[in-house]
Amino acid sequence: MIRTLYTLLLTLAAPILLWGLYRTKPGKPAFGSRWKEHFGCTPPLLATGQPIWIHAASVGEAIAIVPVIKALKQAYPEQAIVVTTTTSTGAEQVAKLGELVEHRYMPIDFGWCVRGFIKSIKPKLFLIVEKELWLNTLTCIHHQKIPTVIVNARLSERSAKRYQSFSFFTHQLLNKIDKILCLHNDDAQRFIDIGAQQHQIAV
């Protein structure tokens, strides 16, 4: 019932969200024909094997995750990594990593879009940078038994209060996440306050 209501609200909001995403701005790279990736039409990766999927919504998250990517590639040189961003400016930032990763655009949070992405990419692990939580995405990944981890997890007091106000919805998000890796004890406590379990949290 919650997912149905959420998807209905997302459908109503989608035209406004997409207009904001695709409108042209000075210095903003164009999506070109790759806009289809937002709708689950995702080209297969060039690399072989199941990749680690990292989602970094935009420029800030893409910069923040670079040390993690480099550490992963140093430890596991043959491991394929795909980084998704929502924005074209985020894609531009990921491109600076060269052959360390492949980039794809994040599918919009409709089940059929996410399932198309998963079918093409076949990830073994899903890493979310900071706090980009989408109900249909998390549900589809959970159904596929793909472990989900939030890295560099942050939660401000203001955001925590908002999540607490919608605890029925927040529970649906948190119970589909395996680990929440926080930078600070304050962030960890706020995640617990909004309903995360102690065993999910690490600082």
pLDDT tens figures, 74-114: 999 999 999 999 999 999 999 999 999 999 999 999 999 99
- Which residue out of 61, 92, 99, 130 is catalytically annotated? 61
Residue 1, pLDDT > 90, answer no
Sequence spans of domains, the chain: 36-126
For 40-69, how does the pLDDT look when each residue is reduced to its tens digit (9 = 90+)? Answer: 999 999 988 999 999 998 899 999 999 999
The pTM score is: 0.92
Give the long-range contacts of residues 186-194, CB within 8 A, separation 24 or more.
187/153, 187/154, 187/155, 190/155, 190/156, 190/157, 190/159, 190/160, 191/153, 191/155, 193/160, 193/164, 194/155, 194/160, 194/163, 194/164, 194/167, 194/170
Active site includes 37?
no
Residue 166, pLDDT > 90, answer no
Looking only at the bridges linking them, the beta strands covering 148-153 and 81-85 are: unpaired
Q: What is the CATH number of domain 36-126?
A: 3.40.50.11720
